[in-house]
């Protein structure tokens, strides 16, 4: 069965859902990446640099630069521009490289 633009116009996507960023509720749409959902909510930075604590968010948007690293559901160093958003995901600002307990 071929899909046509006319058929796609009548598509009924799943309803929006909620993720959280640093305890703040953020709306997300099915198929969005975490970075897209955060951008849509006006959040442009979700990591700080190890040296100087400068804010970082998405830069390249294709997973090559690693500026968009975030802690997702307790796991550091997830590339927010590549990780699909799921209902209930918890994103927290990542400080530096995400492994401060290692002392490196």
Q: In this structure, is residue 3 part of a structural domain?
A: no
pLDDT band, residue 8 (cuts 50/70/90): confident
Residue 7 lies in a domain: no
CATH at 22: 3.10.20.440
102: in domain: no
Tally the domains of the chain. Answer: 1
Q: 23: domain range?
A: 15-91
Whole-prediction pTM: 0.79
Whether 96 is covered by a domain: the verdict is no
1-5, 9-13, 89-93 — which one is most confidently predicted on average?
89-93
Q: What DSSP string describes 7-61?
A: HHHT--PPPPEEEEETTEEEEE-TT-BHHHHHHHTT----EE-TTT--EE--SSS
Residues in the chain: 104
Top pLDDT among 103 and 38 is at: 38
Report whether pLDDT(99) > 70: no
| Domain annotation covers residue 29 | yes
**Cα–Cα distance, 86 to 28 (Å, whole number):** 8
Backbone angles phi, psi at 34, to 5 degrees: -60, -40
Average pLDDT over residues 52-57: 84
Residue 83 lies inside a defined structural domain of this protein: yes
């Amino acid at each position: 069965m071929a899909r046509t633009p006319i058929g796609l116009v009548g598509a009924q996507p799943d309803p929006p859902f909620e993720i959280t960023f640093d305890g703040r509720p953020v709306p997300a749409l099915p198929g969005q990446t975490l970075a897209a959902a955060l951008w849509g909510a006006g959040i442009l930075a979700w990591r700080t640099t190890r040296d100087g604590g400068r804010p970082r968010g998405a830069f390249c948007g294709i997973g090559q630069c690693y500026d968009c690293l975030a802690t997702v559901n307790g796991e550091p160093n997830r590339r927010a521009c590549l990780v699909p958003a799921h209902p209930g995901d918890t994103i927290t600002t990542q400080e530096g490289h995400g492994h401060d307990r290692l002392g490196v």
